């Protein structure tokens, strides 16, 4: 079972998403989003090729993570030789680019 490695780029994206939610939403929204993201990223341990191939870079995949009316997208690379999934970036679905 491959391990999931969260890179610095993904950490920055997660922090940006959290800060946005905390600024515009009251209550537990940021906590619920964090739990949802963590649950979906853990699924990559058992099904590392579940995301769709990226249009521009097919060696990368995008995992769609539903949350609320939209959700998030995690860009990742599965390296079977490393037995690892590298999460490279995370963004809100309505954001442009990583």
Q: Which of 4, 2, 3, 11 is CA-nearest to residue 89?
A: 11
Two tokens, residue 38 = 């963590």
pLDDT in tens, 16-50: 998 888 888 766 888 899 999 999 999 999 999 99
Percent of the chain with pLDDT over 70: 95
Report pLDDT for 51: 96
Query: Hey, which CATH number is domain 3-92, 3.30.70.920, 3.30.420.40, 3.60.15.10, 3.30.2310.20?
Result: 3.30.2310.20
Report pLDDT for 98: 61
Strands 3-6 and 84-92: what pairing?
parallel
Contact (CB, 8 A) for 94 and 72: no
Quote the CA–CA distance of 10 and 40 in Å, as a whole number: 14
Q: Which of 29, 50, 33 is CA-nearest to residue 91?
A: 33
């Amino acid at each position: 079972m491959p391990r999931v490695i969260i890179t610095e780029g993904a950490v920055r994206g997660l922090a940006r998403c959290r800060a946005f939610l905390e600024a515009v939403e009251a209550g537990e929204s940021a906590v619920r989003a964090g739990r949802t993201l963590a649950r979906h990223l853990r699924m990559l341990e058992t099904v590392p090729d579940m995301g769709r191939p990226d249009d521009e870079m097919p060696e990368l995949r995008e995992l769609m993570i539903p949350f609320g009316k939209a959700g998030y997208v995690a860009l990742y690379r599965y390296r079977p030789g490393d037995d690892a999934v590298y999460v490279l970036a995370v963004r809100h679905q309505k954001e442009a680019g990583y």
